[in-house]
Structure 1
């Protein structure tokens, strides 16, 4: 499983999904690592770099921040957005960062861990690059929200079960117990999981659904639908979420697990 975007999807992702979703989760994640001026931070699966940029703000001019992602299109957008910031960008798999041993004070990742093809190897690499007593903090979806359930159901009806499985897989994540066990087995101490909740507010389905699906790996499948099928898919989501309408927005609760540990 991987999260690969192409075409203009990275730009839609940054302009739409980051302000409504991922920027808020990024700020929430960084409360768990308490970054200090002058520290070195590795942001894994950094995408378009929202968490990376906030981390750079926190460590200041004397600190070093590295954003790592396997998706070249996402990194291109990240570089563009942070052109005036001293951030190192690495296009690489998570198990081969190329960083020196014990060179990083903190490793962070927002919604990336469950996409790693070899999670034990990735955790071993993060442990290797962390300094003694270095911190790790990763946010991972805690299952589906009301909105993502509605989206996946509509995709199954109007695109295909196969594409729906691909979309659902983004929220098929390890349990809190499994996360604690995996990070502990990788040699991290004081491993804990905290459940974070945010009340999410997005535009109504007619506006938001095309933008959301246009920023996802399944974007091409959505765009290939005839216009009438797109409208039916959107109407299906709107109907499923009619109880979540507040004014001109969809409002729903979303939840992540944040796993933390110390080397």
Structure 2
């Protein structure tokens, strides 16, 4: 599974999904990692860079932030949006960041982990590049929302089961227990998963569904539909979400799991629970 956008996809993603979804989730993620001025931060699967930009503002001029992604189009958009910020943008894979060992104070990743082809290898790489006492914070969808369930059902009816499976995969994520076990197996300690829920406020389906799907890897399949089929697809989503309509908006709950942990300081024993700042 991967998330690759080309053409106008990154621009639509930034203009539509970042203000309505990912900007808010980025703020919630950074609240869990408490970045400090002067720190070195890596944002993995940074996309168009909303979390990266917020991290840079948190660490200030004396800090350094790197945004890493394997999608050239997303990185180009990220670079253009942060021209005034001193951010390094790197096109590489999560399992091979190219960074030195023990060089990063905090590693963050928003909605990228479940796309990594080899999650264990990615976590091992993250552990390698973090300094002793360094911390990781990764946000991952907690399954489907009422909106994405309705959307995928409509895609299956009006396009194909294959396209619906491809879109559903965006939300097929590991359980909280699996996430905890994976991070612990990679050598992290003080591992925890925090569930965050937000009330999502988007335009009505007639306006939002075309914008949303235009910023997805299945955009071409939606655009190739005949007008009547596209209208019917959107109508299905509208009916499914009718109980969530408030005026000219759809307002519905959504949730993520935020996985956090620390790279053990070499002076801390296996069971003492000592935090890096205490060693």
Short-chain TM bin: over 0.9
Question: How many residues in Structure 1 have an aligned counterpart in Structure 2?
Answer: 263
Q: CA deviation at 1:228?
A: 1.1
Partner of 1:85: 85
Q: Which runs of 4+ in 1 moved over 2 A?
A: none
- 1:11 and 1:243 map into 2 onto residues whose CA distance is 31
Matched, 1:251 2:228: no
- 1:133 and 1:154 map into 2 onto residues whose CA distance is 47
Q: CA RMSD in A?
A: 0.4
Matched, 1:174 2:174: yes
Correspondences of 1:38-57 after superposition (within 5 Å): 38-57=38-57
TM-score (normalizing by structure 1): 0.99
- Rg (Cα) greater in structure: 2
Q: CA deviation at 1:108?
A: 0.3
Partner of 1:138: 138
- 1:102 and 1:222 map into 2 onto residues whose CA distance is 45
Matched, 1:220 2:224: no
- 1:105 and 1:3 map into 2 onto residues whose CA distance is 27
- 2:169 and 2:2 map into 1 onto residues whose CA distance is 9
Q: CA deviation at 1:109?
A: 0.3
TM-score (normalizing by structure 2): 0.94
Matched, 1:32 2:32: yes
Partner of 1:63: 63
Partner of 2:16: 16
Specify the SS of the correspondent of 1:25: helix
Correspondences of 1:203-242 after superposition (within 5 Å): 203-242=203-242
- 2:8 and 2:154 map into 1 onto residues whose CA distance is 23
Partner of 2:105: 105
- 1:131 and 1:79 map into 2 onto residues whose CA distance is 27
Specify the SS of the correspondent of 1:90: strand
Specify the SS of the correspondent of 1:32: helix
Specify the SS of the correspondent of 1:79: helix
Write the deviation string for residues 204-230 of structure 1: whole angstroms up to 9, x where unpaired: 000000000000010011111111111
- 1:224 and 1:248 map into 2 onto residues whose CA distance is 27
* Structure 1 runs not aligned, ≥5 long: none
Partner of 1:74: 74
Q: CA deviation at 1:181?
A: 0.2
Write the deviation string for residues 159-192 of structure 1: whole angstroms up to 9, x where unpaired: 1000000000011100000000000000000000
Partner of 1:120: 120
Partner of 1:4: 4
* Structure 2 runs not aligned, ≥5 long: 264-279
Write the deviation string for residues 62-82 of structure 1: whole angstroms up to 9, x where unpaired: 100000000000000000000
